[in-house]
Chain A
Amino acid sequence: MGSVLVEGLGKAYKQYPNRWARLAEWIIPFSKPRHQLKWVLQQINFRIERGEALGIIGINGAGKSTLLKMITGTTQPTSGRIAIEGRVAALLELGMGFHGDFTGRQNVFMAGQLLGLGMEEIAGLMPAIESFAEIGDYMDQPVRTYSSGMQMRLAFSVATARRPDVLIVDEALSVGDAYFQHKSFDRIREFRKAGTTLLIVSHDRQAIQSICDRAILLDHGRLALEGAPEEVMDFYSAMLAEREQQTVRQERLDNGKVRTISGTGEAGFVDIALLNAQGQRVEVIETGAEVTLQVTVEAKVAVPRLVLGFMIKDRMGQAIYGINTHRLGRALERVEAGERVVYSFAFRAALGKGNYSIALSLSRFDSHLDTNYEWRDFALVFHVINIKQPDFVGCAWLDSNLTIERDATPELAAL
């Protein structure tokens, strides 16, 4: 239960030259097809095992929604097949089928019926739905009086009232307040633990990398890449970065990770080093040590503006800290061809033990999405050990100060 197999999947829409062509095709017997097929998705193959989580990434129009719609059964594939074992629930169109004039409770029944649940079943699930949604007395008010967040809460609670074998989540989930987002993600994680297979569409790096085991990248209706979430996400970011005169290449590193390098190449990295307080290159640093990230940059041609950014990521690929010279108010204007610039970022490595990587970007503005000279993931990998500090949990060393006040015991006071 819960496995999803997608084989040679394709979707095409029929395009007729004019309105009459369809009629002609329908009623003239044995007539040749008068339509052209416009393929929006082609040759998609992947398999998800029970309990696995797959992220689907791609720009708008890459075919993500079409793929999900075919998996949920809303639209029929033109070619290929999908085999799903078990019950599918989709968090795609939350609140779809809600009717504003009816109360939340009545809408829960309707939405449940639309999911194919029976009245008694919904009635049985009602207390759980009510308590999860946490909308209080609004449950018996018409839905049109709800805020959009409240509608989301209720819709999510209904859609996930019963654990499905396969759960399909769209980024729509990022609606609602932070509290409920956490709560809904917790529920999704619980489902996963219980064996639910997960399909998530998102642009959010955090979401994909923290939940998914694997990711696929769709580009122009084709499966462009399948692999570890981090690797696919990096490739995606690079792909997003300005498309013209861009090269994107990925190298496999010794540690098995994949480094993605992209950019126009108008400016590039010459040397990257992490230095300790004595100015020596290090790969292993102590928690709390004063270190310097030294990056040497060379402009191949004259560039009007140069911004260097770095980001420290943990071994899961989650961003720990990132900053650039634009945000620091130190962007360089008019860098000449052949000019070398040495940047030194000195900081205290207030990090927990573990492996970290540094990604670097050279761009014209704040975001590398606009004129990306060079983007390099895994530019540097370092290891943090903790010898001097108390052994703490997590990757941020907040170095908390402890004070304890204790009342004098009565016996002592009596003395």
Chain B
Amino acid sequence: MAFGLTRAVWNYRGFVVGSVKREFQTRYRNSLLGGAWMVLNPLAMIIVYTVIFSQLMKARLPGVDNGLAYGIYLCAGVLTWGFFSEILGRSQSVFLENANMIKKLSFPRICLPLIVVLNAGVNFAIIFALFLGFLAVTQNLPGWTLLGVVPVLLVQILFSIGLGIILGVLNVFFRDVGQFVGIFLQFWFWFTPIVYPLSILPEAVRPLVAWNPMTALISAYQTIFVYDRWPDWSSLWPVALAACVLCVLGMRLFRKRAGEMVDEL
């Protein structure tokens, strides 16, 4: 089954890659600066988070003397969270947005969430490269621990795909899901130590926040970038497991409902 799906996607790789490219082309097609916007937007974001927060507002991270530490802390969390929420937000509506195509053409439907993930991936790659560049320039680049980002990112992507497909399929049948996700993501963001360190939370709340799978992921990035240490692998295993379970559930739900989905759109 899984093999058949992979093969179908492989046969349509041209369509997948083409769609990803096309999306970027469409976005900047009629602008003068074109592709430059792909860089300018995230660059502005990084500057806001680092220069303004660290230098002008003098926000400091407890226990670290580096003046840029808070900015780096913020970027490590916000950028990766952005990647997560982009996949989630777009995959929950991906089937609805492509309803026309789904109803009228025959192609492997699983390509659609894949396109979303690849698109978000490219966006993230750009902004992340800028972030690394910024770290290199300010001589804050972590050492070998940077490699720790790779497995953490993989777990995060898996987690978002699984959840995204589930939400995407559910949203076709229950449109409330889309509305709910929008609200839920906001709460989720503030419930994850991204703009604040975990230590400022009251003792009573901390175990609760630890149940949040995103806490483990975001903390891992923060550990790598701010403290230049390997992340706490033991906290990531449960998330990895959850990610796998979500993916399996998502694929099962998708397989079971893909046919009915076409009738519902």
**Residues of chain A within 8 A of B258, CB atoms compared:** 76
Chain B window 160-192, contacts with chain A (Cβ cutoff 8 Å), 1 for yes, 0 for no: 000000000000011000000000000000000
**Residues of chain B within 8 A of A114, CB atoms compared:** 15, 105, 107
Q: Is the pair A97, B18 in contact by a Cβ cutoff of 8 Å?
A: no
Q: Is B138 an interface residue (CB 8 A)?
A: no
> A74-B106, A93-B104 known; A113 and B18 CB under 8 Å?
yes
Chain A window 82-111, contacts with chain B (Cβ cutoff 8 Å), 1 for yes, 0 for no: 000000001011001101011000000110
Measured between alpha carbons, how far is A75 from B100 in the docked complex, in Å?
A: 13
Scoring B11, B12, B14, B29 by chain A CB atoms within 10 A of each residue's CB, the highest score goes to B14
Q: Is the pair B15, A22 in contact by a Cβ cutoff of 8 Å?
A: no
Q: What's the least CB distance linking A165 to chain B, in Å?
A: 15
Q: Is the pair A96, B105 in contact by a Cβ cutoff of 8 Å?
A: yes
- Nearest A residue (CB) for B258: A76
Q: Is the pair B101, A97 in contact by a Cβ cutoff of 8 Å?
A: yes
Q: Of the listed stretches A115-123, A222-230, A261-269, A295-303, name the one at the interface; the rest are far from the partner chain.
A: A115-123
Q: Is B26 an interface residue (CB 8 A)?
A: yes
**Residues of chain A within 8 A of B11, CB atoms compared:** 116
- Nearest B residue (CB) for A73: B106
Interface size band for B: 20 to 34
Q: Is the pair A118, B262 in contact by a Cβ cutoff of 8 Å?
A: no
Measured between alpha carbons, how far is A113 from B111 in the docked complex, in Å?
A: 12
**Residues of chain B within 8 A of A13, CB atoms compared:** 263
- Nearest A residue (CB) for B259: A76
Chain B window 87-123, contacts with chain A (Cβ cutoff 8 Å), 1 for yes, 0 for no: 0000000000000111111110000000000000000
Q: Is A72 an interface residue (CB 8 A)?
A: yes
Q: List 17 A-B contacts (CB under 8 A).
A: A14-B260, A23-B174, A74-B104, A74-B105, A74-B106, A75-B262, A76-B259, A92-B104, A96-B104, A97-B105, A99-B26, A110-B18, A113-B12, A114-B15, A114-B107, A116-B14, A116-B15
Given contact pairs A96-B104, A114-B105, A116-B14, enumerate 14 new A-B contacts (beta carbons under 8 Å): A22-B174, A73-B106, A75-B259, A90-B106, A93-B105, A96-B101, A97-B105, A99-B22, A99-B26, A102-B25, A110-B18, A110-B22, A116-B107, A117-B14
